[in-house]
Amino acid sequence: MDIAHHLSMLCRYTGACKKFYCVAPETKILTHDFRWVEAGYIRPGQLLWGFDERSGGHRNLRKWRPSIANIYGRVIRDRVELQMDDKTILRCSVEHPLLCSTKVAGNTRWITAGEILQRQKNGWTSKNHPIPTPVFLPKFLHTWEENLSYESGWLAGMFDGEGSLCTASSRGLILTIAQNEGPILSAIESSLARFGADFGKSTTHGRCKQLTVRGGIVEQLKLLGTIRPRRLLPKVAERLVGRDLMRAGEFVKIISAKDIGPGEVVALETSTHTYITEGFGSHNSVAEHSVLVSEVGSPEYALERLLHDAPEFVLNDLNRPTKHTWWLWGYRRLEARNWRVIAEKFGLNENLQQSTKDADNAVLMAERKVLMLPLPGKPWLKDAPADVEIRCLSPEQAETEFLQRFYELTRERGA
């Protein structure tokens, strides 16, 4: 059902489910200027590298996107430590979703660290995979450290002066540097080798040789991020936007998941709902809110309460004060039109019942205590919070519960 899926992927308050964005403070995150910065040092408004939250299929892969960070501070959460077969260790909260696959080069989906931990406890099995199945993480990049040596600066200057970046290839970027035969070319080759770069050598014309950095964008970004040429780095950032993400990197196997108990994590949210952490893809739902609203109050209008936010599956979710400003009357008009279509489809009233609005407000007040930062001034709603548990479900869990509740209510109506 499209409504269930789209609502499960929508974040309440346009992206404030902060529990979904919790990584250990020492976790390295890729910034837009190609530096790996610990999560504890990321600041609100800082530009990072993210990617499309969802894939459009084989021929419409996730793309690289700039992503703006928002920080909700440090919180204490139950944590999981994941160890990969390439010796990478990742620590995050149990709610934190990671982009995973159950086979090398297979389809990827978001799985929380807590689910991975439970799979290991069950012998790497789950309801959907009763046969023991390993979990892999696509690792898009390797981390690197900026090199401040004289040799690094010299090589960066040579790339700025004699290097070039080509994006004509559908497989990624092509990074080259050209120089005539002689001591300078030999010095470039020696420096590239010392920085661990693999390269090929070809003749362009006459005595001029061209060195091409091999290994695709993984090795190209590692080299450029290490030596930091001033001209080429901004060009890479400009040309990376919109290019396929999944063509880069490799799949690494999770060999162990360990419960390491409560500890400090950074509640990090981004404008794309994604970011690159330690080279892996990290990930925030209206569907959970709808299920909770359907459970508050009399059962007579439970289906209406479940679907009350269904228009948002095409319009997105806006917070209440913003939605009711005068300049967004067009949004409210579209929302009402979409609700009339949905109400007619499922045999509901064209106008929402007051009991539905009251239940929505009560659940919203319960969410406000858990999900929202303290707001200055008087509260804009005075309803008592509903007696519900805000669990911050993953999109997959929220979609499943929404569909279960929908089928339960439609069976009761004989639909």
Length of the chain: 415
Segment 210-269, tens digit of pLDDT: 999 998 888 999 999 999 999 999 999 998 888 888 665 688 999 999 999 988 888 887
- Give dist(CA 187, CA 185) in Å, integer: 5
Which range, of 90-104, 233-247, 401-415, averages the lowest pLDDT? 401-415
Strands (DSSP E) along 127-216, which ranges? Answer: 136-139, 163-166, 174-180, 199-205, 208-213
Give pTM, 2 decimals: 0.67
Segment 11-37, tens digit of pLDDT: 554 443 434 557 899 999 999 999 999
pLDDT score recorded for residue 148: 95
- Give dist(CA 95, CA 282) in Å, integer: 11
Segment 141-159, tens digit of pLDDT: 999 999 999 999 999 999 9
Helix axes 395-413, 286-294, angle to 10 degrees: 30
For residue 380, the 8-state DSSP code is: S
Which range, of 141-150, 339-348, 388-397, averages the lowest pLDDT? 388-397
* pLDDT, the chain, mean: 82
Average the pLDDT over 356-361 and give the result.
Answer: 86
In order of start, what are the domains of the chain with their CATH numbers? 18-140+245-282 (2.170.16.10), 150-229 (3.10.28.10), 286-413 (1.10.3210.10)
pLDDT score recorded for residue 41: 94
Q: Please report which confidence band the pLDDT of residue 284 belongs to, taking 50, 70 and 90 as the band edges.
A: very low
The residue ranking higher by pLDDT, 134 or 319, is: 134
